[in-house]
Structure 1
Amino acid sequence: MFAAYVTVTIVAAFLDGSAAVTYLIGHDYPKAMVRMKRLPLWWMPLLGSLLAAGSIGLLVGFAVPWLGTLAAVGLVLYFAGALVAHLRVGSRKLAGWAVFTSVAVATLVLDLAAT
């Protein structure tokens, strides 16, 4: 069980960290997603920072378990908000959301099971 927790947590940290970088550098894809969801572009650094904090928190969770749990909860809530943003504008392009959310939920479940 612990090996699965470590593996999924590292994958989640990598995915969320990569997404954070794209938001923070202002890549075109996240800009298009923010525009599609009718959110202001000035939210991009905030969204990227939240993803970065979640990613770092997951890795810090190996040393301080309760921080990892909080980071996993935060990421699950972040992606719940992303779903609301998609549905609010009628977007049904949820494949990316499903991958990120599945990994975040798996990380949270395995984190709770490992502690």
Structure 2
Amino acid sequence: MTFEELKKNKPTSDWLENDEDGDFFNEENISATNKVLDAYISTLQKLGSGAEEDDILEAVEKVVTQLNELNEGYDHYIETSEREDLCEFIQTAAELAGLETDEDVTEEWREW
């Protein structure tokens, strides 16, 4: 997988479709989430293939704390399946940037 493929396959693409009654997701919270995820990918791409672990983890911390704020602001729309989707997305991107770990990189900062 590449960053471009990851960018095209954000977990949010399925969220709206799966929310048949529109209780959790709308164009506003999906768009805000996509913006945060796109910025995360762009940051990792700018770091390049020889990125330092600390720089990658700084990008992870930033995306997770931004998602914490969105989740709070949009009435806690990130639930179990969304959390799993986001964790996988963030982890995959961090690994593409060169991070080597078997641990959940979001756990330290995640409130959702």
> Shorter-chain TM-score: which interval?
0.3 to 0.5
Higher helix share: 1
TM-score by length of 2: 0.45
